[in-house]
Amino acid sequence: MNRKAKCGIVPRVEPVRPHGRRCAAGLAALLWSVAPVVAADSTGDGGYELGKGWQVPRTDLYLGGYASSDLGKEESQPWSLDVSHLSLFLWWQGDSRFRFFSETDLENAVTVQPRRTSSDGAYLALERLYADWTQSDAVNIRVGKFLTPVGRWNLIHAAPLVWTTSRPLITDTPFPTNATGAMLYGTLTGIGAGLDYSVYGSIGRELRPDPHLDTFNEAYGAHLSYPFLRSLQVGLSFVNFDQVHEPGERQNLVGVDACWSQGGYELSTELGWRFSYDGSKFDAKGGFVQGVAPVGGRFYAVGRYEYFHQPGDEPGVSLWLVGLDYRWSHALILKTEFSKAVDNRLQVPEGFLASVAVLF
């Protein structure tokens, strides 16, 4: 989309030779006369709006991002206050079929605990860095580092977009959340209301791998998502992979996700099964069901049950969560939640969490 012209910013004009002065003068006059009209037509006038990003003047470059801060009081732990995410999006979208997108995330920049403030856990993560080339709505090619298309949560995991501060285990524990490689994706608009698909492959060599994560050594996967009845989105995921820390231990992950939303109510679920080539004792499985309901004004009640069974003979962990959120605006949300685990051999954090998150 040519937002440059619509925001009333005069497009760059190529240098002209002297004999083209009359033409250039005419063009300049035309641009001068058109630009204010176009600017007057637009409500934005090129200005900044929270949660809508900012276009660098006279370019097709956009800046945006999100920030979040968490206050936690886990059971048998002191309280802590984190600046958990300061994430910056930078993308370029011109009129051509080429597009570039990046997201860098400063994680845990500052942590405040009783009598201790530190930035020891700070890490600058490269969440996404890719180039897209578009042939049509149905055929897009992406190369670089992207979010692994498994389930729904991982693809929209930013704090202002999700209802809880904590994240269900099934959405990031059984697979690496990022992949570096190539992806073919698009929307098949000829199929009913439009089938979204992605097929991808990675041969490892993660771009700026997070040292805390066990990244893909090799992965091949696909994700399908289809909207039913306008208010229900259903997805299927599959990925065959092994990871850097266990090369050769091949695994298959199968997932189902669904999200229904209407009138402020939302019901969502993700279920996943990970099967290991090395035998069933290395399998993992889990899922969650989450409900959201408006309770007056901008307040929303949140409830979630999740279950996760890690590889081994130990029983799985069940985690119950209740929360109350205040959605100040589409770009700003305040969240509180309390969670309690049963059979918590995984030592999943449980207790009280609150956070504020803003999309900018």
Partner 1 sequence: MRLRTALLRAAAGAVCLWPIAVAADSDAMAVIVAVDSRHRVESRDQLAEIYRRRKQFWSDGQRIDPVNLPAADPLRRRFSLAVMGALPEQLEAFWNEMYFHGVLPPQVLKSVEAVLRIVATTPGAIGYIPLCAADKRVAIALAIDSAGAAVDKEPGAVCPH
What does the binding site for partner 1 look like in residue numbers (CB under 8 A)?
Answer: 1-3, 5-6, 37-38, 40-44, 51-53, 62, 64, 89, 91, 93, 95, 99, 101, 134, 136-137, 156, 158, 160-161, 187, 189, 193-194, 196, 230-231, 261, 263-264, 330-331, 359
Q: Shortest gap between Cβ of 110 and partner 1 (angstroms)?
A: 24
Pairwise CA distance, residues 306 & 286, whole Å: 7
Q: How far is the CB of 167 from partner 1 (least distance, A)?
A: 15
Closer CB to partner 1, 1 or 114, in the complex: 1
294 phi and psi, to 5 degrees?
A: -70, 135
Neighbours of 251 (CB within 10 A): 22
DSSP strand E in 190-244: where? Answer: 195-202, 216-228, 232-243
Minimum distance of partner 1 from residue 193's CB (angstroms): 6
Q: Nearer Cβ to partner 1, position 196 or 249?
A: 196
Which pair of structure tokens corresponds to residue 5?
Answer: 């012209």
37 or 114: CB nearest partner 1? 37
And the tokens for 67? Answer: 């920030």
Closest distance to partner 1 from the beta carbon of 310 (Å): 29
Residue 147's contacts (CB-CB under 8 Å, 6 or more residues apart) are: 127, 128, 154, 155, 157, 177, 178, 179
Q: Give just the sign of the alpha carbon dihedral 338, 291, 266, 53.
A: positive
What is the rounded distance in angstroms from the CA atom of residue 84 to the CA atom of residue 110? 8
3-state secondary structure of 70: strand
Q: For the CB of residue 220, give the shortest distance to partner 1 in the complex, in Å.
A: 22
The smaller minimum CB distance to partner 1, of residues 108 and 261, is found at: 261
Instruction: Choose among 291, 301, 216: nearest CA to 250.
Output: 216
Closest approach of Cβ 117 to partner 1, in Å? 30
Could you tell me if 14 and 24 are in contact, meaning their C-beta atoms sit under 8 angstroms apart?
no
Residue with Cβ nearer partner 1 (106 or 259):
259
Nearer to partner 1, 6 or 208 (CB): 6
Least distance to partner 1 from the beta carbon of 141, Å?
A: 15
Please identify, using beta-carbon distances, which residue of 1 and 297 lies nearer to partner 1. 1
E-only strand ranges, 148-177? none
**Nearest approach, Cβ of residue 247 and partner 1 (Å):** 31
Q: Which residues contact 10 (CB under 8 A, 6 or more apart)?
A: 31, 32, 35, 58
Q: Which is nearer to partner 1, 72 or 235 (CB)?
A: 235
- Non-local CB neighbours of 91 within 8 Å, separated by 6+ positions: 61, 62, 64, 99, 100, 101, 102
